[in-house]
Amino acid sequence: MSEVVIPNVCEEAVFGNIYMTNSKAIYRYIYYKCGDEDKANDVAQESFLKLWENCKKVASDKAKAFLYRVANNLFLNDVKSKKIALKYAKQSENVDNESPEYVLEEKEYKDKLERALARLTEAERTAFLMNRIDGKKYKEIAEMLDISVKAVEKRIHKALQKLRETIDGI
Amino acid sequence: MKDNFLAKWLNDELESSELQELQKTPEFESYNKIISTLDKLEAPAFDEKAAFASFKSNYLATPQIKEEKETKVIKMNVWKPILRIAAVVVLAVGFYTYFNTLDTSVATDLAQMSEITLPDNSEVIVNAGSEISFNKNSWNENREVNLKGEAFFKVAKGQKFDVVTTDGIVSVLGTQFNVNNREGLFQVTCYEGLVSVAHKGQVTKLPAGTAFTVLNGEVVSKESPTTQVPSWTINESSFKSMPLGIVIAELERQHNVVIETQNLDLNKNFTGNFSNNDVNLALKSISIPLNLIFDIQDKKVILYAENNK
């Protein structure tokens, strides 16, 4: 009675569910590291393939941690990184009725921000964007990256500090 | 300011005094702009459904991948038929084991006798109105025969098992012995070899030609059997100084009749035999030596003392 039944990852429904809930985050995690969409896609798919191959060995409640670990390992094999290209969320594009000058200004600022992001360390950028873009809590990020919450805070603090310094041209 | 105060600020963890302090710094506006700009931005789109579809077609549906990469990729839709087969196998195995682990049980009716062979080739003759059960499957671990009533055991050479009754346990090793456990009576008679009887914590060894008898809870000494096998196995019931009540109960069982007694002392001892084939002869065997009269009325027999009628 005290035994908790952990769903088997080898079952298609369970695996599919894990895929649906985690693939975007894995994809972004790699994207924030390198700014390469194709690379992020490949790493995400390969990570899930590894999970599928090891479905018997990985309990479903450990699958998430397994995926991040594998994605991280797969990524290390490749180093060349590109600038992160972020785009405006659809909402703000439609809702705001802005002057051309303002739009241009904003575009320039965004480029600046993206260049500043590229100058962050991979660890700082990843933690920062996971929080700012994906809206992940510090605790979640800590679990995914297998580091302490304090380390996450430090990376995020540093990231914002460096971004400002770069943007303000210090 | 606090360690990592920017991270605390983003997480709304600053106290109002700390927040005010931060807001007063010249950098605050810049921080705010970075954050509010990022709030409007998003990462490149990722379509989970499309990605999963391509994942399935790339890695899961093509068996070649499995061979090339020597990985254990199993086609997902392979599972359904396998699961179906597995379910059938599980059910079949379940039924098989269920029925196999059930005890084998033999119960004899009144006026009936049955002969069975145990898994170790020992023979058992079960007397009328008795029940015997054992488990074929776990015989090797658990050599136990449960007995209610009376049975004669001819144990195969070198085999050992226990006969479990409500009144005691009889352990045997390559012997022939009779166990009779009826209302008020527990009797073990050894005809060959050696048996040990555990009764109320007392273990008694019975060599060939001896008997262990408990009458109404008391151990009584009885004479040794004179025959090679219990008489009932050759269709005769034999008694030595046995209370009449027990004798009558046996007659009822052997002939499937109900015997009503009138003015009889059922504790009076009886020594003698009666036939298990002929009810008339059997009744005479009891009534004549004890000076009794019997009336047969269909399946009912009335037995009473001669001088009382």
Question: Residues B185-241: pLDDT tens digits?
Answer: 888 888 888 888 888 878 888 888 888 888 888 887 766 677 777 888 888 888 888
Checking if the pLDDT of A1 tops 50, the result is no
Instruction: State percent of chain B over pLDDT 70.
Output: 90
Q: Is B50 on the interface with A (CB under 8 A)?
A: no
Higher pLDDT, A55 or B78: A55
CA of B8 to nearest chain A CA: how many angstroms apart? 7
* Residue B283 CB contacts under 8 Å (≥ 6 apart), including other chains: B251, B274, B294, B296, B301, B303
Better pLDDT: B61 or A115: A115
Strongest mean pLDDT among A75-84, A92-101, B45-54: B45-54
B93 interfacial to chain A (CB closer than 8 Å): no
pLDDT the model gives residue A142 = 93
Partner-chain contact A160 B10, CB within 8 Å: yes
pLDDT exceeds 80 at position A12: yes
Instruction: Record the pTM.
Output: 0.47
Give A 22-41 residues with CB within 8 A of chain B. Answer: 23-24, 27-28, 31-32, 37, 41
Residue range B255-297, pLDDT digits in tens: 888 888 888 788 888 888 888 888 888 888 888 888 888 888 8
Interchain contact, B34 vs A37, CB within 8 Å: no
A113 touches chain B (CB under 8 A): yes
Across the interface, whether the CB atoms of B59 and A45 are under 8 A apart is answered yes
* Equal fold, B106-234 vs B236-309: no
Query: Domain range holding A94?
Result: 90-167
- CB contact under 8 Å between A153 and B38, yes or no, is no
Percent of chain A with pLDDT over 70: 87
A7 part of a folded domain: no
Judge if A29 and A68 occupy the same domain: yes
List of residues 6+ apart from B94 with CB closer than 8 A: none
B92-111 mean pLDDT: 79
User: Are A104 and A61 members of one domain?
Assistant: no
- Give pLDDT, residue B61: 61
- Determine the Cα angle at A61 with ends A57 and A66, to 5°: 60
Q: Are residues A62 and A125 in the same domain?
A: no
Number of domains in chain A: 2
Q: Which of B227, B84, B229, B77 is nearest to B151 (CA)?
A: B229
What b-and-e string marks burial along B170-209, b requiring 16 or more CB atoms within 10 Å of the CB? bbbeebbbbbbbbeebbbbbbbbbbbbbebeeeeeebebe
Q: Sort strands B236-243 and B269-275 into parallel, antiparallel or unpaired.
A: antiparallel
Rounded mean pLDDT of B26-40?
90
CB contact under 8 A, A132 and B5: no
CB atoms within 10 A of CB B40: 16
CATH number of B106-234: 2.60.120.1440
Assigned CATH class of B236-309: alpha beta
Query: Which sign, positive or negative, has the C-alpha torsion A78, A84, A89, A90?
Result: negative
CATH of the domain at A109: 1.10.10.10
What does the pLDDT read at residue B66? 41
Predicted confidence band of residue B69 (pLDDT cuts 50, 70, 90): very low
Among residues A76, A109, A129, which one ends one of the domains?
A: A76
Give pLDDT tens digits for A85-134.
777 765 545 445 667 888 888 888 888 999 999 889 989 999 999 999 99
B304 touches chain A (CB under 8 A): no
Q: Which DSSP category does B71 fall into? A: -
Mean pLDDT for chain B? 81
Is A102 an 8 Å CB contact of chain B?
A: no
Interface test with B, best of A70, A164, A168, A170 (most B CBs within 10 A): A164
Residue B128 — very low, low, confident or very high, per pLDDT cuts 50/70/90? Answer: confident
- Please work out, in degrees rounded to the nearest 5, the angle formed at the alpha carbon of residue B238 by the alpha carbons of B234 and B243: 150
Quick check: is A108 in a domain?
A: yes
Q: Which residue has the higher pLDDT, A124 or A13?
A: A124
User: Which chain B residue has its CA at the smallest distance from A168's CA?
Assistant: B30
Which pLDDT score is estimated for B68? 42
**Domain CATH for A56:** 1.10.1740
Question: Do A116 and A163 meet the contact criterion of CB atoms below 8 Å apart?
Answer: yes
> ipTM of this predicted complex?
0.84
Within this chain, do residues A97 and A128 fall inside the same structural domain, yes or no? Answer: yes
Tokens matching residue B226: 């004179």
pLDDT digits (tens, 9 = 90+) for A51-74: 998 988 888 888 988 999 999 888
Residues A96 and A159 in one domain: yes
Model confidence pLDDT, tens digit, residues B178-194: 888 888 888 888 888 88
Q: What is the DSSP string of B79-146?
A: HHHHHHHHHHHHHHHHHHHHHHHSPEEEE--TT--EEEE-TTS-EEEEPTT-EEEE-STTTTT--EEE
Distance from CA of B211 to the nearest CA of A (A): 51
- Predicted confidence band of residue B63 (pLDDT cuts 50, 70, 90): very low
Res A127: pLDDT = 94
Q: Would you place residue A158 in the very low, low, confident or very high pLDDT band (cuts 50, 70, 90)?
A: very high
Domain boundary among A52, A76, A100: A76
Residue A1 lies in a domain: no
Instruction: Please state which of the ranges B9-13, B30-34, B126-130, B214-218 shows the lowest mean pLDDT.
Output: B214-218
Quote the pLDDT of residue A90.
Answer: 57
Would you say residue B58 has pLDDT above 70? Answer: yes
Domain shared by A116 and A158, yes or no: yes
Q: What percent of chain B has pLDDT over 90?
A: 7
Among A155-159, B13-17, B182-186, the range scoring the smallest mean pLDDT is B182-186
A-B contacts (CB, under 8 Å): 114
Assess contact for B73 and B60: CB atoms under 8 A. Answer: yes
Q: Cβ A31–B52 below 8 Å, yes or no?
A: no
Any chain B CB within 8 A of the CB of A103? no
Which of A21, A51, A76 is the endpoint of a domain? A76
